[in-house]
Structure 1
Amino acid sequence: MTYVDGLVIPVRAGTDSAGYARFAEAIAPIFRDHGATRVVEGWADDVPDGKQTDFRRAIQAGDGETVVFSWIEWPDKATRDMGMAKVRADPRMVSTGVEMPIDGARMIFGGFQVVLDC
């Protein structure tokens, strides 16, 4: 059954969508090489402020920062677990040749079992 890693990512001020896309394009193949079937990156376009919480508050986005909503699809949880271990150990994750425009300490992520895909 399909397994998904979901991420809400704070992108540093001064980074535009093209700059973020260069970073994402550099790391997406690493996930694909280790079993991911799809990597999707969504640049904030219509992200309203909420009354109690919202995407920006969830990642403590500062002035000028933006939000990226991302997901990585895997064939199943076992493939994801093995693949993520390989991704973490892959030397390309350390040196992509592209500046990392995110604050990983405030990134929110988690794994999810797909219960509906229509």
Structure 2
Amino acid sequence: MQYIEGFVAAVPTANREAFRKHATEAAAVFKEHGALKVVECWGTNIPDGEVTSFPKAVHCREEETVTFSWVIWPSRAVRDAGMEKIMNDPRVDPAVNPMPFDGKRLIWGGFEVLVDE
């Protein structure tokens, strides 16, 4: 069964193009190591919530935009093996391909698919 990994981040709005470039380069690495698909989205309608919201989750500042991303893997096992390779791949080393946002405020999680209509 497919496995989905989701990500939410706050990216400086001025870094939109740098984020797109970074994400495009990283997506190639993810796909090389087993991911089926990588989707990166730039927020355009992300309201603040009263209790919780995407902006609150990543402590989004006024000069930042929320991004929402996901990676589709064939299975959790393929994801685990692929991520081990990705973490050792020099193309995603922060010294070579630095993240154009504060990675400490990135949230992520892995999910088993329950419904896929």
Question: Is the Cα contact below 8 Å between 1:13 and 1:63 reproduced in 2?
Answer: no
Please list every run of 5 or more consecutive structure 2 residues that lacks an aligned counterpart in the other structure. none
- Find the aligned partners of 2:45 and 2:104 in 1 and give their Cα distance: 24
Structure-2 residue corresponding to 1:53: 52
**TM-score with structure 2 length normalisation?**
0.92
| CA deviation map 1:40-67 (0-9, x unaligned) | 0010011111111110110011120111
**TM-score with structure 1 length normalisation?**
0.92
- Find the aligned partners of 1:38 and 1:9 in 2 and give their Cα distance: 19
Paired residue secondary structure (1:14): helix
2:57 pairs with 1:67 = no
How far the C-alpha of 1:78 sits from its partner, in A, is: 0.2
- Find the aligned partners of 1:19 and 1:85 in 2 and give their Cα distance: 25
- Find the aligned partners of 1:21 and 1:13 in 2 and give their Cα distance: 12
| CA deviation map 1:80-109 (0-9, x unaligned) | 00001111110110123xx52121111000
- The two structures, once aligned, show a CA RMSD in angstroms of 1.2
2:110 pairs with 1:108 = no
- Find the aligned partners of 1:6 and 1:90 in 2 and give their Cα distance: 21
2:9 pairs with 1:9 = yes
- Find the aligned partners of 1:84 and 1:7 in 2 and give their Cα distance: 15
Please list every run of 5 or more consecutive structure 1 residues that lacks an aligned counterpart in the other structure. none
How far the C-alpha of 1:11 sits from its partner, in A, is: 0.6
Runs of 4+ with deviation above 2 angstroms? none
Paired residue secondary structure (1:52): coil
